[in-house]
Chains A and B, each alone.
Chain A
Amino acid sequence: MSRPPKEAGSLSQWQLIRLRFGKHWPAVASLYLLGILYLLALFAECFAPYSKGWNDVDYIYAPPQLPRFSLEEGWHAVQLQRHIDPETLKNYYTKTNQVIPLGFFVQGEPYRLWGVIPMDRHFFGADMPADAEEWPAYYMLGADKFGRDILSRLIFSARISLSIGLVAILVTFLLGVSIGGVSGYVGGRTDNVIQRSIEIINAFPQLPLWLALAAVMPADWSSIQTYFAITIVLSLLGWTGLARVVRGKILSLREEDYAVAARLLGANHGRILFRHLLPGFTSHIIVSLSLSVPAMILGETALSFLGLGLRPPVVSWGVMLQECLNIDVIANYPWLLMPVFLIILTVLAFNFLGDGMRDAADPYR
C-alpha cells in the first residue's frame, strides 16, 4: 500500500511524470523487462551456465533440452545422444535414460566476473556433485554448430548488443543537443544553415552508407576498435532527429518569460541554456533517445549479419544470426533463431518505453 500522494498542486514535475508513466502499463512492463536484460548483461558471467566460448563437439546442433519437473528428480532435463542419419548425413538426437539434475546457484565452470572477481557459482545450470569430473553439457536453448550453448551466448551477446545501443545513444545525445541547441538558440542564418544541412543528411540512404562505412573499416582492427567505430557509424545519421526536437523546443521556450527575464538580468548564454532552458525539455530528450535505440540495435544486427560489423570472437545477436542465413539451418535447426526473439523483445520494450515516457512527459501533445 503506497503512501497517500501529496496534493496534486504540490507535486514536482518529475513526480507528475512518474505518476502518469505508472498508468501506462506496457511502458512499466518494458521498464522492468529492460531492467532484467541489462542486469543479465551486467552479470553475464554469473547468469550464463557456460562461458561464451565453451563447447562440446559431441553435441553439435543439439536441440533445446527443456527443464522438466518430477517428484523424484526435481528439476531435471533428459540427456541426449547424437546420431547421424546414414542417408542424408543429417545430425539428429534421441533421448537417453540419463538425467541431468538442474538447480540454482550451482557450482560450474570457474570464471572471473568482469574479468576481475574469480567465482564459480552460476545462477542456473546443471547441478553436479562437487566431485564430478567435468561439467555435463546442458543446453536449455540448444546448441549451435560447434556445440556451444545458445543460452550462454545469448546472455553474453546481450552485453554487446545492448551496450552498443547505449554508447551510440551517448554520441547521438552529444551531437544532437549541441548542434540542435546552437541552432535553436542562436537562430537566424546559423539556424538556417544547420537546418539545411540536417535535410541534406536526412537525404542520405541510411543502410548503404552504413555498408560503405563498415566496408572501409580496416579488417585488422581489434574488437574494441571495431566496436567503437560501429557505434560512431550508427549514430552519425541518427542525431538529426534529436537535433530537430531540441531546436524546436528551444525555439518555443526561448521567448518564455523566465528566459527573457534571465537574459535581461545579465545571465550568460551558457547559464540560460543549461540552467533554464534545458530542464524544460529533458523529458523530450529522453523520449527521443529511447526511441532511437531500436534503430541502433537493428542497425548493428544488420551490419554484423552481413559480416561488416562485429566479427567473431566477439559475440552479438547479429553475429549469432550469421549462421541463420543458411536455409539448411532454418529448416533443420531452427532454435538458432533464438536471438530474434530477444531482439524483438528489446526493440518492443524500447518502443513502448519511449511511447510511455512521451505520453507521460507531454500529455497535451
Chain B
Amino acid sequence: MATVVLRSILKLILAGTGLALFLIAMAALLSPAIDSVPPTVDPAELAAIEASRDVAFDPNDLPVVQQDVDYSLGPSAAWFPQGQAPILERLVDRGELPPVPDRVGPEPVVLKGIDGIGNYGGTWLRVANSPFDVNVIGWRIGGSGLVRWSPLGDPIRPHIAKSWEVSEDRREWTFNLRKGVRWSDGHPFTADDILYWYQEDNRDFNSVFPAWMVTKGKTGRVVKIDDYTVKFIFDEPNGVLLEGLAGAGGWQPFAPRHYLLQYHPEHGDQELIAKAMAARGLSSKRALYKAVKDFRNTEHPRMWPWVYRTYQSSPPESFVRNPYYFAVDPEGNQLPYIDRVLFDLKSPKLIPIAAANGSVSMQARHLRFQDYTLLMENREAYDYEVKHWFNAVRSNFTIWPNLNHRVRPEDPVSAWKAEFLNEKTFRQALSLAINRQKIIDAVYAGQGEPAQIDPGASSPFGSEKLRKSFVEYDPERASAMLDALGLDQRDSEGMRTFPDGRRMTWYLNFTDYTGEGPAQFVVNDWASIGVRTILRERARPLFQNERAALLQDFTIWSGESEFNPMIGPRSFVPVHSWAHFAPAFGVWFHKGGLYGDERAAAGQEPARGTPIRRVQELYESAQQTADRLKQIEIWQQIFDIAAEEVWAISITTPPPNLAVVSNQMRGVPDNLLSGASYSTPNNARPETFFFIEPNDSPGAIAQMEREILETTPAETSVKPGSEASASGKIGELLVTCFIGIAALGLVLAGVKHPYIGRRLIIMVPTLLIISIVTFVIIQLPPGDFVETRILELQLNGDVAAVEEMKQLRESFHLDEPVWKRYLRWLGLPWFLTFDSADRGLLQGDMGRSMENQRSVNDMVGDRVLLTFLVSLGTILFTWAVALPIGIYSAVRQYSLGDYLLTFLGFIGMCVPNFLLAVLLMYWSGKYLGINVTGLFSPEMAATPEWTGAKVVDLLQHIWVPIVVIAVSGAAGMIRVMRGNLLDELRKPYVTTAMAKGVRPFKLLIKYPVRLALNPFISGIGGIFPQLVSGGAIVAIVLSLPMVGPLLLASLMMEDVYLAASMLMVLSALGILGTLISDLLLLWVDPRIRMEGGNR
C-alpha cells in the first residue's frame, strides 16, 4: 500500500516537473530576443518624428484655405467655374447635366488646398464602427455650413454665406448668401431655406434652439431681407454666433424647403404623408418627418460635397460626388477632387488594425493613442504616414464625480454618496492620491505631463492655476483630508467606511468610448488610501440609462473642445445635460433657469451663491460679450473657482490625435486643430484632398455615373408620385408558389418514408419552442431600448422627442403583456386581419430594429446567405480534410503519420476557435501579406463587378473563418472515420476480397469507406448547428458581415426584435442543416429506405 502511494506521489512530482518544463519551453518560444543594449536610432528620422509629435502651433501664423476673391470679375476671372471631373464632363456631353457654370453659380467658394491643384478621381476609403457612425459624412467629412473653421481654428471663413456684417451692438448679424448656389438636386439655395429652418423645421420640432441662437434665455429671430440676404436678430449681444455657426456640425440653420415642406405634419401634403407612413410602417407624422431627414434618405437634397444616392442595407456605404457642389479651386475646377467616399464597417477593436494594414485612405476617427506603436510600425509596409494633430480636447481621460447624485430614501448609502461627492475636500483628496507620473510612464509611454483639464498652454484662455491644481502626488495629505471629513473608520478589509459604519464602495463607470485606460491604476491608488472603488465597463445604453437617472458615482469620459471654452464649456460649467459632473444643473441652465423659464424645472437649480451658480452666471455674461479679451478675463475667474472645486479629475495633458494618411493622398495638412466642435477633418476642407494616381475600375466609374444621375431609395420609402411596381408583386407571388411546392414535396416524402416524416413533424414544435424560449430570454433584462432613450430624452427636457418615443412604444407594442407581443412577433394577427402592418415571423417579416426602425429582413438578407455559405464551405472543407486523413490513419494504423495527424487533430479541437481566428489573422497578415479583416480587401470592396480578381480576393479572405471553424470539427470526424473504418476492415468480406486479388485502393473505396461514411452524413445534422454557432463567434472576432456580430450588437443594445429574430435565424439554419442531412442519409443508406427507418 505504501509503495503504491509513494509511486503515485513520485508520478505526481514527475507530472508537475513536466508541466513546469513545458511552460518554460513555451515561454522561451514566445520570448523576444533581449539585448544588453538598446538598439540604435537614426537621429534624423527621430528628429523628424519628434517634430511631428510636437503639435504646438503659433497663434500668429494660421493657415487659411478659403480665398477671398472679387466676384465682380465674372467669367474672366481665373477662378470662374470652368473645369469639372471627367465623370461629370461625360454626363454633360450626354446632356444629362447642365454645364458647370450653371451648376456651380457665379459666386462659388474658392478653396486652395495646401498641396495645390489636384487630380480628379479616386475613392476615399474609410471605416465606421457602426451603421450610425457613417453619419460623420454629414458634418466631419462634408459639413457645409454658413461659415467654417480654418485648419487651426481661427480665422472663421465664409462658406455658404458669402460675407457678413455685424451691428455695433452685436445684436444684428446680416449674412449675404451666394447667388447661383444649388442644392444637390439642382434646386436653388435661397434665404427661404434658412427661414424654413427657423419657422417650420426647428421651431416646430425641437423645444430648444441651439445655444448660439439664444441670448439671455430668449431665442433670436431670423428675418429675410431678400432672396440672398438674411438677418439674425437678438435681444442681447451675441458673443458666440460665429463660433456656434462654424461648429454647428449636424445642426445647421437651413433645410431644403422645396423637399421637406411636403412632409411637414401640419403644412405638408397629407396624402403623400399617409402613403409614406404606410410604406415605412410608421404610425406618427413626426416619426415620418424625422425618418425623412435621416442622413440615409437618398431623396433628401444636401449641400455636401459627397452625397448618398443608393440605399444599402449592409456595408460598404457609398457617397458619390455632388454635381452641384458650389466650390472651386483657384483655377476654376469644380471641387471635390475625389469622386467617392466609401465607408466600410468594422468592430471597434479591428479599426486600428484595418488602418495599420492600409485599408483606409485617410482616417483619424476611432484611432487612439494606445494604437500608436501598431500604426507607427506598419508605415513602410503599408505605404502610409501617421500625422499628429493638435488635440482641441484637452483630456482623453477624465473622471467626473456626479454632484447631482440621486438620493433614494430607501438607500441611506446614496445619501452619504451625494453628500461626499458634493464635498470639495473629498474630491481634492481623491485627486491628490493619484500617482500621475507613474501612469504617464506606464500607460502613455512618458508622453504628457500631470495636469487637470484646462484649455491648455497654447490657448489664449489657458489657466496654469487650473492645470496644476491638486496634481501633486501626496497620499498622506489625501489620507489626512479624508480623516478630517469623518471617513476615519476602517472595515475588516482595511477600507474606509461611511461615518455611520456602512460599507463604502464607489463605482467608476466607463464605456468603450474612452476604454479602460489608466482606470485600474486610479483604483489601485485610491485603494491605497482606503477608498474602495469598483471599475465597471458599461455598454452605451446602460451608461446613458444610469446617467439619465443620476445614479452614477463617477463616470469616465473625455473632454470636449476645451481649447476654446466658449465652444466647449461643459467641462468647466454645467451648461446642458452632457456636463458630466452635474447633469441636472446643466439641464436647468440649458432650459433658461437663470431667467426663470419654468421648463427649467426638469433639471435642478443650484443654490444662489454656490460656486456652480457663480460659474453659470459668469459664463452667461461671457456669452453676451463679443469682445475676446473680456471673455478671457471672465473665464479666468471661472477657472479660479474650478481649480478650488476640482469638479473634474484628470491625469495628463492629452497626446496628439493620430491620423493615418495613405501616401497616395495629398492635401491633408500636417497639423490640424482636432475636435468635434471643429468638425475635424472638415476644417481642413476635405474637398481639396486628392489622389496622386486615382485608379478606380471602369465598373466603379460606371456605377458612380449611375448613382450621380439616379437615386435608389430604400424599398420602404415612397418617392412622391411613384407607385409600388406591379412586377414586384408578381415576383413575390412566384416566390410564395415555389416555397409552397417545395413544402408539398417534403410532405410527400415524409409520408412515403416514415423516417423523414417523423423528422418533419418534430420540426414544427421545435421551432415553436425555440421561438418562445428566445423571445422570453431576450425580454428578461428589465427595461428596454425605448425606455433607455426616453429616460435620456426626459433628462434633456426634450418634450417633443419624448412624445415621439412614447409613440415608438406604441408602434412596437411595448406596453402589451409578453405573450401578446410574442404572438404579434409570430404574426398570428395577420391570419385574422390580413393587414400588412400585422405581418410577422410566419409571413417572413422579422420585425423592425428599434434603434433605427429599419426592417430586420433588410439588415439580415446578405448576412444569412453568407452565414449559410460559410457553414456549407466549412462542411465541405472538413470532409475534404478529415476523410483522407481518417482513411490514412486507419490503413496505416500506429504509424508515425497516424500518431502525428491524430495529435494535430486533437490540438485543433482544444484551441479556442476565436483565439485561432485572431492568431490566423495575425499570421496571414505578417507572413502572407493578406489582411483578413472583413471579406474583401478595400479595393475589391469598392469595385462592384465580379471579376476573377474579386473572386480570388474573396477566397483569400474567407479561408480563415472556414479553416478556424472546420478545425474543431475535423478532429472529431477524423477519429470517428478512423474508428469506423477500422471496424469495417476487420470484417471477413474484406479478407475475402483481398484473398481474391482485388486491388487495395478499389477494395478500400468500394465498400468499407462507403459504409464508414454513414455516421458522417448523419453527423452533419449535429454538426450544422455547431458550425453555425461556432461561426458566430469567429464572425464576431473577425468582424465579418454575418449573423453573429449582428446578434451580439443587438443583445448589447437590448434591441428585442432584432435579437430574437437573429436567434431564430440561427436556429432555423441549424434545423435546416439537420433536415438536409436526413435527406442525404435517406438517399445514401439503403437500409433506411428498406426498413422504413428505425434509427
Binding site for B on A (CB under 8 A): 1-2, 29, 32-33, 35-37, 39, 55, 57, 60, 63-64, 66-67, 80, 83-95, 140-142, 146-147, 151, 196, 199-200, 202-209, 211-213, 215-216, 218-220, 294, 298, 301-302, 305-307, 311-312, 321, 324-328, 330-332, 334-335, 337-338, 340-345, 347-348, 351
Partner of A212 from the list B442, B535, B1028, B1063 (CB cut-off 8 Å) is B1063
Nearest Cβ on chain B to A313's Cβ, whole angstroms: 8
Q: How far is the CA of A80 from the CA of B35 in the complex (A)?
A: 10
B896 interface residue (CB < 8 Å to A): no
The 3 closest A-B pairs by CB, nearest first: A207-B1029, A32-B15, A64-B27
* Residues B413-447 near A (CB distance < 8 A): 438, 441-442, 445-447
B19 interface residue (CB < 8 Å to A): yes
User: Could you tell me if B778 and A325 are in contact, using CB atoms closer than 8 angstroms?
Assistant: no
User: Could you tell me if B1028 and A205 are in contact, using CB atoms closer than 8 angstroms?
Assistant: yes
| Chain B residues with CB below 8 A from A29, complex form | 15
User: Could you tell me if A341 and B1025 are in contact, using CB atoms closer than 8 angstroms?
Assistant: no
B676 interface residue (CB < 8 Å to A): no
B622 interface residue (CB < 8 Å to A): no
Given contacts A33-B15, A87-B46, A335-B31, contact A347 B909 (CB under 8 A): yes
Nearest Cβ on chain A to B258's Cβ, whole angstroms: 46
Partner of A36 from the list B16, B442, B447, B925 (CB cut-off 8 Å) is B16
Please, which residue of chain A has its CB at the minimum distance from the CB of B441?
Answer: A57
User: Could you tell me if A57 and B34 are in contact, using CB atoms closer than 8 angstroms?
Assistant: no
User: Could you tell me if B535 and A335 are in contact, using CB atoms closer than 8 angstroms?
Assistant: no
| Chain A residues with CB below 8 A from B721, complex form | none
Q: How far is the CA of A88 from the CA of B16 in the complex (A)?
A: 41
User: Could you tell me if A212 and B1059 are in contact, using CB atoms closer than 8 angstroms?
Assistant: yes
User: Could you tell me if B31 and A142 are in contact, using CB atoms closer than 8 angstroms?
Assistant: yes
B503 interface residue (CB < 8 Å to A): no
Some 20 contacts from A to B, beta carbons below 8 A apart, are A32-B15, A63-B34, A88-B373, A94-B34, A95-B36, A140-B27, A146-B442, A146-B521, A207-B1029, A208-B1063, A209-B1029, A212-B1047, A216-B781, A216-B1051, A219-B542, A298-B912, A327-B374, A327-B921, A344-B911, A351-B906
User: Could you tell me if B536 and A219 are in contact, using CB atoms closer than 8 angstroms?
Assistant: yes
Binding site for A on B (CB under 8 A): 3-4, 11-12, 14-16, 18-19, 22-24, 26-28, 30-32, 34-39, 41, 45-46, 49-50, 349, 352-353, 356, 371-374, 376-377, 438, 441-442, 445-447, 520-521, 524, 535-538, 542, 762, 765-766, 769-770, 773-774, 777-778, 780-781, 906-907, 909-912, 914-915, 918-919, 921-922, 925-926, 1022, 1025-1026, 1028-1030, 1032-1033, 1036-1037, 1044, 1047-1048, 1051-1052, 1059, 1062-1063, 1066-1067, 1069-1071, 1074
Partner of B38 from the list A94, A218, A321 (CB cut-off 8 Å) is A94
Grouping DSSP codes into helix (H, G, I), strand (E, B) and loop, the B interface class, with mixed when no group exceeds half, is: helix
Given contacts A66-B24, A80-B34, A88-B376, contact A302 B1067 (CB under 8 A): no
Q: How far is the CA of A203 from the CA of B19 in the complex (A)?
A: 39
Given contacts A36-B19, A60-B442, contact A216 B778 (CB under 8 A): yes
| Chain B residues with CB below 8 A from A207, complex form | 1029-1030, 1032-1033
Given contacts A94-B36, A341-B23, contact A89 B373 (CB under 8 A): yes
Please, which residue of chain A has its CB at the minimum distance from the CB of B27?
Answer: A64
Please, which residue of chain B has its CB at the minimum distance from the CB of A151?
Answer: B23
Nearest Cβ on chain B to A234's Cβ, whole angstroms: 14
User: Could you tell me if B23 and A141 are in contact, using CB atoms closer than 8 angstroms?
Assistant: yes
Q: How far is the CA of A49 from the CA of B414 in the complex (A)?
A: 40
User: Could you tell me if A330 and B1051 are in contact, using CB atoms closer than 8 angstroms?
Assistant: no
Q: How far is the CA of A181 from the CA of B720 in the complex (A)?
A: 67
Nearest Cβ on chain A to B517's Cβ, whole angstroms: 11
User: Could you tell me if B915 and A205 are in contact, using CB atoms closer than 8 angstroms?
Assistant: no
| Chain B residues with CB below 8 A from A55, complex form | 524
Most buried by A among B445, B521, B1062: B445
| Chain A residues with CB below 8 A from B542, complex form | 219
| Chain B residues with CB below 8 A from A35, complex form | 12, 15
| Chain B residues with CB below 8 A from A199, complex form | 762, 766
Partner of A340 from the list B371, B915, B922 (CB cut-off 8 Å) is B915
User: Could you tell me if B777 and A212 are in contact, using CB atoms closer than 8 angstroms?
Assistant: yes
Partner of B1037 from the list A37, A211, A325 (CB cut-off 8 Å) is A325
**What is the number of contacts between chain A and chain B, taking CB atoms within 8 Å?**
244
Nearest Cβ on chain A to B1094's Cβ, whole angstroms: 14
Nearest Cβ on chain A to B804's Cβ, whole angstroms: 27
User: Could you tell me if A331 and B445 are in contact, using CB atoms closer than 8 angstroms?
Assistant: no
Nearest Cβ on chain B to A42's Cβ, whole angstroms: 13
Q: How far is the CA of A339 from the CA of B778 in the complex (A)?
A: 32
User: Could you tell me if A218 and B27 are in contact, using CB atoms closer than 8 angstroms?
Assistant: no
Nearest Cβ on chain A to B974's Cβ, whole angstroms: 13
Nearest Cβ on chain A to B453's Cβ, whole angstroms: 23
Taking A209-B774, A209-B1063, A338-B27 as given, write out 16 further A-B residue pairs in contact, using a Cβ cutoff of 8 Å, ordered by the A residue number: A67-B24, A80-B34, A88-B372, A88-B373, A89-B446, A90-B377, A200-B765, A204-B773, A206-B1025, A208-B1066, A213-B777, A298-B910, A301-B912, A302-B1033, A331-B377, A341-B23
User: Could you tell me if B765 and A330 are in contact, using CB atoms closer than 8 angstroms?
Assistant: no
User: Could you tell me if A341 and B778 are in contact, using CB atoms closer than 8 angstroms?
Assistant: no
| Chain A residues with CB below 8 A from B35, complex form | 94-95
Q: How far is the CA of A1 from the CA of B6 in the complex (A)?
A: 12
User: Could you tell me if B26 and A351 are in contact, using CB atoms closer than 8 angstroms?
Assistant: no
Q: How far is the CA of A55 from the CA of B521 in the complex (A)?
A: 10
| Chain A residues with CB below 8 A from B37, complex form | 94
Nearest Cβ on chain B to A192's Cβ, whole angstroms: 11
Given contacts A36-B16, A208-B1047, A301-B912, contact A334 B30 (CB under 8 A): yes
User: Could you tell me if B770 and A87 are in contact, using CB atoms closer than 8 angstroms?
Assistant: no
User: Could you tell me if A203 and B1067 are in contact, using CB atoms closer than 8 angstroms?
Assistant: yes
Nearest Cβ on chain A to B905's Cβ, whole angstroms: 11
Most buried by B among A85, A208, A219: A208
Q: How far is the CA of A347 from the CA of B908 in the complex (A)?
A: 11
User: Could you tell me if A340 and B373 are in contact, using CB atoms closer than 8 angstroms?
Assistant: no
| Chain B residues with CB below 8 A from A298, complex form | 910, 912
Q: How far is the CA of A213 from the CA of B906 in the complex (A)?
A: 29
Nearest Cβ on chain A to B401's Cβ, whole angstroms: 19
User: Could you tell me if A302 and B914 are in contact, using CB atoms closer than 8 angstroms?
Assistant: yes
Partner of B774 from the list A80, A212, A321 (CB cut-off 8 Å) is A212
Given contacts A94-B34, A347-B910, contact A326 B349 (CB under 8 A): yes
User: Could you tell me if A205 and B1052 are in contact, using CB atoms closer than 8 angstroms?
Assistant: no
Most buried by B among A66, A216, A306: A216
| Chain A residues with CB below 8 A from B36, complex form | 94-95
| Chain B residues with CB below 8 A from A330, complex form | 918-919, 922
| Chain A residues with CB below 8 A from B777, complex form | 209, 212-213, 216
| Chain A residues with CB below 8 A from B11, complex form | 32
Please, which residue of chain A has its CB at the minimum distance from the CB of B768?
Answer: A200
Given contacts A141-B27, A211-B1047, A212-B1051, contact A205 B373 (CB under 8 A): no
Nearest Cβ on chain B to A98's Cβ, whole angstroms: 12
Partner of A335 from the list B15, B16, B30, B914 (CB cut-off 8 Å) is B30
Please, which residue of chain B has its CB at the minimum distance from the CB of A63?
Answer: B31
Most buried by A among B15, B353, B356, B1062: B15
Given contacts A88-B376, A203-B770, A212-B778, contact A331 B1033 (CB under 8 A): no
User: Could you tell me if A57 and B30 are in contact, using CB atoms closer than 8 angstroms?
Assistant: no
User: Could you tell me if B918 and A200 are in contact, using CB atoms closer than 8 angstroms?
Assistant: no
Q: How far is the CA of A220 from the CA of B542 in the complex (A)?
A: 11
User: Could you tell me if A89 and B26 are in contact, using CB atoms closer than 8 angstroms?
Assistant: no
User: Could you tell me if B445 and A89 are in contact, using CB atoms closer than 8 angstroms?
Assistant: yes
User: Could you tell me if A87 and B41 are in contact, using CB atoms closer than 8 angstroms?
Assistant: yes
Partner of B27 from the list A57, A66, A87, A88 (CB cut-off 8 Å) is A66
Partner of A332 from the list B45, B373, B524, B910 (CB cut-off 8 Å) is B373
Given contacts A94-B35, A206-B1026, contact A327 B536 (CB under 8 A): no
Q: How far is the CA of A200 from the CA of B774 in the complex (A)?
A: 13
User: Could you tell me if B15 and A205 are in contact, using CB atoms closer than 8 angstroms?
Assistant: no
Nearest Cβ on chain A to B921's Cβ, whole angstroms: 7
Q: How far is the CA of A131 from the CA of B770 in the complex (A)?
A: 65
Partner of A146 from the list B520, B536, B915 (CB cut-off 8 Å) is B520
Q: How far is the CA of A218 from the CA of B535 in the complex (A)?
A: 15
